[in-house]
Chains A and B, each alone.
Chain A
Amino acid sequence: EAAVTQSPRNKVAVTGGKVTLSCNQTNNHNNMYWYRQDTGHGLRLIHYSYGAGSTEKGDIPDGYKASRPSQENFSLILELATPSQTSVYFCASGDAETLYFGSGTRLTVL
């Protein structure tokens, strides 16, 4: 069964601090995605990748960096966290058709 694991599940960070959200997939999918979900906005695409070593900007990339060091791992990095980045973050992997999501990371920036 497809499996996407996100860590941590919950994170509290301070304004100006660095935050790294991690995602691991065991599906051997080429494509991976980072979304954030906020009330009224649905899922918004931050960054995506179509293979190890590649990262592409999504619709709201400002303030975020991404890293895809291997087929299995895709990280989202907030170098200088701000309260506006408080949200639920979802990672997904995909086979060009279906996306398989992790359970999400709830990030609170104080």
Chain B
Amino acid sequence: QEKVQQSPESLIVPEGAMSSLNCTFSNSASQSIWWYQQHPGKGPEALISIFSNGNKKEGRLTVYLNRASLHVSLHIRDSQPSDSAVYLCAVIGTGGYKVVFGSGTRLLVSP
């Protein structure tokens, strides 16, 4: 079964800094990789996805994917206190139905 691991477990950065989160997955044939943001007491919300090797930018977010090394990273430029949340990496399996999540990275952006 697909395995998704995230690091670090928690991360504290000062306001305005770059936040960098990592995710490794077990199947290079997996389809899209997604990042979700979850605030306390809420369900996760989709942030950004990537399918092809390389990078993708959306606003302050950049995602890098390397399928050969089974690694994807999320970078948040100019981090804000409102970015404080748990970030979940999710991998869509080859069948297109099954979505497997990592255990998350808890980000705290200090003012």
Q: Hey, which bits of chain A sit against chain B, CB under 8 A? A: 4, 31, 33, 35, 40-45, 48, 50, 56, 58-59, 90, 92, 94, 96-104
Contacts and interface: CB of A to CB of B under 8 A. Distances in A.
Q: Is the interface of A mostly helix, strand, loop or mixed?
A: strand
Nearest to B86: A42
Interface stretch (B59-67, B69-77, B88-96): B88-96
A90 B44 CA distance: 9
The 7 closest A-B pairs by CB, nearest first: A101-B43, A42-B103, A43-B101, A98-B46, A42-B104, A50-B97, A96-B96
Contact of A97 (B32, B36, B98, B100): B32
Contact of B88 (A31, A42, A56): A42
A45 B99 contact: yes
A5 to B, nearest CB: 11
A101 B44 contact: yes
Interface residues of B, number: 24
Contacts, number: 60
B103 A99 contact: no
Q: Which of B6, B34, B96, B97 is most buried by chain A, counting CB atoms within 10 A of its CB?
A: B97
Interface of B: 1, 6, 32, 34, 36, 41-46, 49, 88, 90, 92, 96-104
A99 B38 CA distance: 13
B43 A31 contact: no
Nearest to B105: A42
Contact of B46 (A43, A58, A96, A99): A99
11 contacts: A35-B101, A42-B88, A42-B101, A42-B104, A45-B100, A48-B98, A96-B92, A97-B34, A99-B36, A103-B41, A104-B43
Nearest to A94: B99
Nearest to B104: A42
A97 B49 contact: yes
A97 B103 contact: no
A31 B102 CA distance: 20
Contacts of B101: 35, 42-45
Given A59-B1, A97-B32, A97-B92, A102 B100 contact: no
